[in-house]
Amino acid sequence: MQRLFGVDPPQARGAADTAQQLQEYWRWRIEAMAQFPVAKTDQAISHVFVGEMDRALDLLWEAFEMRSAAMVFLATDPSYDPLRGLERFDDLLDRVGAP
């Protein structure tokens, strides 16, 4: 796997594809993204994958307030599936105008 933002991912250090290692990867990704300007929606997806739903929703609401074009994918991107049914996410979908 290639370096992201000049940081080696956990897989480059010999990590296996276990659930724990996948969590390590997503946490590494969050840490790496904090060093550079990255879309709030991309950051939110990483937080979803580590189970930090409140942080993911905070970032999605920030993206909405910034009028991010990526908001059009909220209703269809499977990365957001764990958020479906949560009141804050459903409110966001309504505000975006998603069906």
* Confidence (pLDDT) at 17: 62
* Confidence (pLDDT) at 12: 47
User: Residue 22's closest CA among 40, 55, 43, 46?
Assistant: 46
What are the 10-residue block averages of pLDDT along the chain, 99 residues in total? 47 59 84 87 92 96 95 92 96 91
As a whole number of angstroms, the distance between CA 59 and CA 51 comes to 14
As a whole number of angstroms, the distance between CA 58 and CA 56 comes to 5
Q: Note whether 94 and 67 are within 8 A (CB).
A: no
The domain segmentation of the chain, as residue ranges, is: 10-96
User: Residue 81's closest CA among 59, 73, 26, 31?
Assistant: 73
* Confidence (pLDDT) at 1: 41
